[in-house]
Amino acid sequence: MQVIKSAVAAALATLALSASAMTPIQDTELSAVSGQDGVSIAANLNIKMDSFVYTDTDALDANGMGGGSISFNGIKVQGLIAASIDILSKNSFLAAAGAAGVTNPGTFYNPATGGDVVQIAIPADVQVAAGKLMNISVDSIKMGNNAASYGSVAMNQVDLRGTQVWIWAH
């Protein structure tokens, strides 16, 4: 029994001695490291909402105008969407914004002091089967408590490919 205890103690001591703390890596060593960056997200959306109601809370005026509501009922969003999330350096962001047609990024981003930017992009080259792009519909649009509907609305095959969204702190 003593032999087993001694063997276990020796094994544990060996493990403890072989553990080492993290050490800094030099820039020259880091430049030789390669890997993946960014995050990709893909979703097959199937969102349903009973209603979206807008209510005007203004009091009635002398002509009986004011107040009321409108409701959008049976809202659905369905279809495929794929996006990637990346961190862009200041120069990469300014290049991407310029390529997107931004002529003066200084109106919303400080090119002198701005830092990294998070980019959420829906790649332009994502292949989607026919009829599988996003569809958005509203079954009925009603005023107040009226049962009659103004009709419905549908946006079919909404193609968001090539869309870019940028987020940064300031």
Share of residues in the chain with pLDDT > 90 (%): 38
**Domain chopping of the chain, boundaries:** 39-167
- Which one, of 122, 135, 131, lies nearest residue 78 by Cα? 135
pLDDT, tens digit, 9 for 90 and up, residues 2-37:
555 555 455 445 544 444 556 777 767 766 666 666
What local confidence, expressed as pLDDT, does residue 94 receive? 93
Q: What is the pTM of this model?
A: 0.59
pLDDT, tens digit, 9 for 90 and up, residues 123-149:
888 888 888 899 999 999 999 888 899
Do residues 53 and 82 make contact, with C-beta atoms less than 8 angstroms apart?
A: no
